[in-house]
């Protein structure tokens, strides 16, 4: 699999597998199948896996540890701290918490659950408005000195927060939502990342499934599917945003590819330091997505996508209002 370099020397596969969808509850009923999928991903060259203490909490990290076993040294693990989780019981107490003592406890817990001596990339999951970014970066700097962490990352942070953190401890990567239908980072964030030499790991590169072309106005979402609460997935919004899918289908037809592959290839063509982070529970979808690395978009393709997308006004917020307040941007 192709490689890319994030920030100050973190070499990873050009696509990353996000495990959030493999289980955020205390019980993961299809745990054996998800472990098998992680191992299959490694066999196919994937070496960059994303988890977080809050997924469960804790069960997701434990599952990744079981999946990796003796393969740990072949992969890069990214995990996250920053939520108000009781480090004894695992209870999510609500809200964010990046106080220094909480960070240290969270990292020690993640190391134990992951069965490893170090974390390759440690993200602050969300900016904590009550803790100066300099303090957060200072704690992570200490953890790097101690050998517990190798690289520092931020998630959903804005340009000001990125600069403040980077001044204390170089930031290797920002994780943020970026895709053809979420292009806000292009205004303020991407220029800062390029200036400072920071990589971008973009989650929801397929628009939570919308850009695959498998969702339309007739699609219904289950009671536990968060997309049913997202304004961008309201029926009227789906109809208005369909133009992006039509665009991807047109380009895909020329390349004998799928809309998902074109959406991922477009992201990879934006900057050499961008790594799309996707999630899937099915091996066939995993193989489809990594097939995007074999799609070479031409300058004419990229010009067409840019010109057409600029004339499509995406309707609907990407999260419910309460979640938007935690985006950090």
Query: Which residues are catalytic, by number?
Result: 55
Phi-psi category of 295—alpha, beta or left, where left has phi over 0 and alpha has psi -120 to 50?
beta
CA distance 249 to 34: 30
Nearest to 113 by CA among 82, 150, 81: 81
Q: For residue 162, what are the β-bridge partners?
A: none
Q: Is the peptide bond before 57 cis (omega within 30 degrees of 0)?
A: yes
Phi-psi category of 199—alpha, beta or left, where left has phi over 0 and alpha has psi -120 to 50?
beta
* Beta strands in the chain, from DSSP E residues, in sequence order: 3-6, 10-13, 16-18, 48-50, 76-81, 83-85, 92-96, 119-124, 149-155, 171-177, 199-203, 274-278
To which residue do tokens 């982070």 refer? 277
CA distance 129 to 188: 20
Is 1:15 a contact under the CB 8 Å cutoff? yes
Is 47:12 a contact under the CB 8 Å cutoff? yes
Nearest to 52 by CA among 72, 77, 84: 77
Give the chain's radius of gyration (CA, Å). 19
CA distance 51 to 17: 9
* Residue 90 CB-density burial (10 A; 0-12 exposed, 13-18 middle, 19+ buried): middle
Half-sphere exposure of residue 75, counting CA atoms within 13 Å on the CB side? 30
């Amino acid at each position: 699999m192709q490689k890319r370099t994030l920030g100050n020397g973190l070499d990873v596969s050009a696509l990353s597998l996000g495990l959030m969808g493999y289980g955020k509850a205390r019980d993961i009923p299809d745990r054996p199948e998800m472990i098998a999928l992680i191992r299959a991903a490694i066999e196919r060259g994937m070496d960059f896996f994303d988890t977080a203490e809050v997924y469960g909490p804790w069960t997701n990290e434990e599952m990744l540890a079981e999946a990796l076993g003796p393969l740990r040294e072949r992969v890069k693990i990214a995990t996250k701290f920053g939520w108000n989780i009781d480090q004894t019981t695992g209870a999510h107490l609500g809200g964010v918490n990046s106080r220094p003592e909480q960070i240290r406890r969270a990292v020690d817990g993640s190391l134990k659950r992951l069965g490893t001596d170090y974390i390759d990339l440690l993200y602050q999951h969300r900016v904590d408005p009550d803790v100066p970014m300099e303090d957060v970066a200072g704690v992570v700097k200490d953890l790097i000195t101690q050998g517990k962490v190798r690289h520092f990352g931020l998630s959903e942070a804005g340009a000001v927060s990125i600069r403040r953190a980077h001044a204390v401890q170089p930031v290797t990567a920002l994780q943020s939502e970026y895709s053809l239908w979420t292009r806000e980072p292009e205004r303020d964030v991407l220029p800062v990342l390029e200036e400072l030499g920071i990589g971008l790991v973009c989650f929801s590169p397929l628009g939570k499934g919308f850009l695959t072309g498998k969702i339309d106005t007739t699609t219904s979402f289950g009671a536990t599917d968060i997309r049913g609460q997202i304004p961008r997935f309201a029926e009227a919004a789906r109809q208005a945003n369909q133009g992006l899918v039509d665009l991807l289908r047109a380009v895909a037809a020329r390349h004998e590819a799928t809309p998902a592959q074109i959406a991922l290839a477009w992201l990879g063509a934006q900057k050499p330091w961008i790594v799309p982070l996707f999630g899937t529970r099915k091996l066939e979808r995993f193989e489809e997505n990594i097939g995007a690395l074999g799609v070479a978009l031409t300058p004419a393709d990229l010009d067409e996508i840019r010109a057409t997308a600029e004339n499509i006004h995406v309707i609907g917020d990407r999260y419910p209002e309460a979640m938007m307040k935690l985006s950090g941007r």
